[in-house]
């Protein structure tokens, strides 16, 4: 087992290159995968309109792992998140009872699409669909092997920036702030080398379809379908969010054009300041118009194109993945990180660009988990995390093959999790966060590293 030197001395314990095995026993891997179509549930009458693009279908996808000693579940959904907590808690408990998968060995996450189905409208139906996907994956178990590798995709960008006109913090493109371009891929293959399933991780807010008026899995949904269709729909590809709390798509012109057409803002062809166009729609200041068909079509094509770029890089990574292992150890653990909370007292003043005032609030709780598959560590958290924190988690991990999955296993009471240095910025993520500075960033990195040591190494 390969280890690496620790580069985060302020928050981490020293790292030794260990090769000891945890209590988990290795066994021959079996892998099963399935997807459940939930597209009809996104529409009140259960009848989706004619669909042209891959991202217009919504799915719950599941991968079940079994090594004869224990099982694990990797589940992703074209939803804003697996929330409220009752959906995650009830579904995970039922899956554990029926399929014998320990809850600590489950990662259930949403792609965080901002134009998909919000499961809180009918949580029982979403719970049933999640259980159905897990059952189907479990029924498809077959001998397999696992590998992990990383590629690069240049579609995301940091979104915390000072507006050039107002000189206030806003949501826009910042090419100088942290942005991890890594696309991490965990892949499973059958005995003939064909893919059974994949689990890809990228940090980019799926906000292309936000306030668009149509349902979509956005770029993540398009990416998953692109990979699945490339292999003749014989495999399942799950998309999960990396540390995307301050990450947007680099190119949002098509998305903003749709908003502008809906709110009556003139379009010039140039890229517009998104917050100016978005605010009237988001806050109900204008009466929503019908979508402009030209702008609507351009946005749908662009979302599909983004998915194709992500999907092609995932396929490239999978095509050259080596060191596959068919004898695996599976070990999971979850814990709760508690940090001092705060309540904003001037929330009615502005969404961003002004300083927040706060009173002490209840402690904020975040659910952290680690699932180990041999030398691969899948860290999960039930919140939206700033990108630099994700980079620190991976840098501090004693295992090179580490992935951070966000918006997973319910919903934290913290809101956004900014980095400590971001608290001087008056972005909507920071001023709206329930976290006081000085706890979450250090606690997340330390807890993940400790759990990897204790549960995997």
Cα separation, 392 vs 279, in Å, equals 33
**Residue that has been written with the tokens 């269709």 in this structure:** 229
DSSP 391-435: HHHHHH-SSSEEEEE-SBSS--SS--B--GGGGGS--HHHHH--B
Residue range 81-127, pLDDT digits in tens? 988 778 999 999 999 999 999 999 999 999 999 998 765 568 888 99
Cα separation, 164 vs 167, in Å, equals 6
Low-confidence residues of the chain: pLDDT under 70: 1-23, 44-47, 118-121
Contacts 24+ apart (CB under 8 A), 121-124: 122/41, 123/84, 123/86, 123/87
The residue among 54, 80, 49 whose CA lies nearest residue 291 is 49
Residue range 220-278, pLDDT digits in tens? 999 999 999 999 999 999 999 999 999 999 999 999 999 999 888 888 899 998 888 99
Which tokens go with 101? 């998968």
How many CB atoms lie under 10 A from the CB of residue 28? 13
**Residue-level pLDDT at 14:** 36
Residues 6+ apart with CB under 8 A from 99: 64, 71, 73, 134, 135, 138
Beta strands at 195-202 and 236-241: parallel, antiparallel or unpaired? parallel
Give, as one character, the DSSP assignment of residue 54.
Answer: G
**Residue-level pLDDT at 121:** 63
The residue among 250, 272, 256 whose CA lies nearest residue 158 is 250
Cα separation, 200 vs 147, in Å, equals 12
The residue among 42, 39, 44, 45 whose CA lies nearest residue 57 is 39
Query: Could you tell me if 68 and 27 are in contact, meaning their C-beta atoms sit under 8 angstroms apart?
Result: yes
DSSP 91-143: HHHHHHHHH---GGGEEEEE---TTSB-GGGSHHHHHHHHHHHHHHHHHT-EE
**Residue-level pLDDT at 392:** 98
* Three state DSSP letters for 281-344: HHCCCCCCCCCCHHHHHHHHHHHHHHHHHHHHHHHHHHHCCCCCECEECEEEEEEEEEEEEEEE
The residue among 447, 433, 408 whose CA lies nearest residue 103 is 408
Report how far apart the first and last C-alpha atoms of the chain are (Å, whole number).
Answer: 9
How many CB atoms lie under 10 A from the CB of residue 139? 11
DSSP 164-216: TTT-SEEEEEETTS----EEEEEEEE-TTS-EEEEEEEE-----TTTTSSS--
Cα separation, 82 vs 113, in Å, equals 12
The residue among 114, 101, 41 whose CA lies nearest residue 74 is 101
Cα separation, 115 vs 130, in Å, equals 19
**Residue-level pLDDT at 264:** 86
Where along the chain do its domains lie? 27-455
Cα separation, 302 vs 293, in Å, equals 14
Query: Could you tell me if 154 and 204 are in contact, meaning their C-beta atoms sit under 8 angstroms apart?
Result: no
Cα separation, 107 vs 410, in Å, equals 10
Residues 6+ apart with CB under 8 A from 357: 344, 345, 346
Which tokens go with 413? 């009471």
Which tokens go with 334? 């979850």
């Amino acid at each position: 087992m390969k280890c690496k030197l620790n580069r985060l001395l302020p928050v981490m314990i020293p790292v030794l290159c260990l090769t000891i095995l945890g209590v988990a026993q290795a066994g021959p891997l079996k892998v099963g995968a399935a997807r459940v179509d939930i597209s009809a549930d996104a529409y009140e009458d259960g009848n989706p309109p004619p669909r042209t693009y891959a991202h217009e279908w919504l799915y719950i996808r599941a991968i079940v792992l079994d090594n004869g000693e224990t099982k694990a579940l990797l589940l992703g959904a074209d939803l804003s998140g697996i929330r409220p907590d009752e959906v995650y808690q009830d579904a995970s408990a039922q899956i554990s009872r029926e399929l014998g998968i320990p809850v600590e060995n489950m990662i259930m996450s949403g792609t965080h699409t901002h134009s998909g189905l919000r499961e809180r409208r009918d949580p029982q139906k979403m719970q049933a669909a999640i259980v159905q996907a897990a059952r189907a994956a479990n029924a498809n178990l077959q001998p397999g092997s696992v590998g992990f590798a990383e590629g690069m995709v240049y579609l995301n960008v940091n979104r915390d920036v000072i507006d050039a006109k107002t000189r206030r913090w806003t949501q826009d493109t910042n090419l100088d702030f942290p942005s991890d371009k890594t696309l991490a891929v965990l892949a499973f293959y059958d005995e003939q080398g064909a893919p059974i399933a994949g689990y890809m991780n990228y940090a980019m807010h799926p906000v292309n379809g936000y306030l668009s008026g149509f349902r979509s899995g956005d770029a993540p949904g398009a990416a998953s379908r692109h990979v699945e269709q490339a292999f003749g729909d014989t495999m399942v590809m799950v998309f999960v969010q990396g540390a995307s709390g301050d990450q947007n798509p680099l190119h949002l012109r098509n998305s903003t054009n749709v908003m502008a057409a809906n709110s009556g803002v003139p379009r010039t062809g140039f890229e517009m300041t998104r917050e100016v166009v978005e605010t009237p729609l988001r806050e109900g200041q204008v009466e929503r118009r019908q979508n402009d068909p030209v702008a609507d079509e351009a946005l749908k094509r662009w979302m599909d194109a983004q998915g194709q770029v992500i999907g092609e890089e995932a396929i490239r990574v999978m095509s050259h993945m080596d060191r596959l292992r068919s004898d695996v150890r599976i070990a999971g653990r979850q814990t709760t990180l508690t940090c001092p909370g705060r309540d904003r007292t001037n929330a009615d003043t502005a969404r961003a660009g002004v300083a927040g005032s706060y009173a002490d609030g209840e402690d904020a709780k975040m659910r952290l988990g680690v699932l180990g598959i041999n030398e691969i560590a899948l860290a999960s958290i039930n919140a939206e995390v700033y990108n630099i924190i994700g980079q620190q988690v991976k840098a501090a991990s004693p295992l090179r093959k580490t992935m951070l999955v966000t918006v997973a296993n319910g919903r934290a009471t913290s809101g956004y999790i900014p980095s400590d240095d971001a608290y001087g910025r008056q972005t909507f993520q920071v001023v709206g966060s329930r976290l006081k500075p000085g706890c979450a960033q250090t606690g997340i990195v330390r807890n993940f590293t400790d759990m990897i040591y204790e549960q995997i190494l």
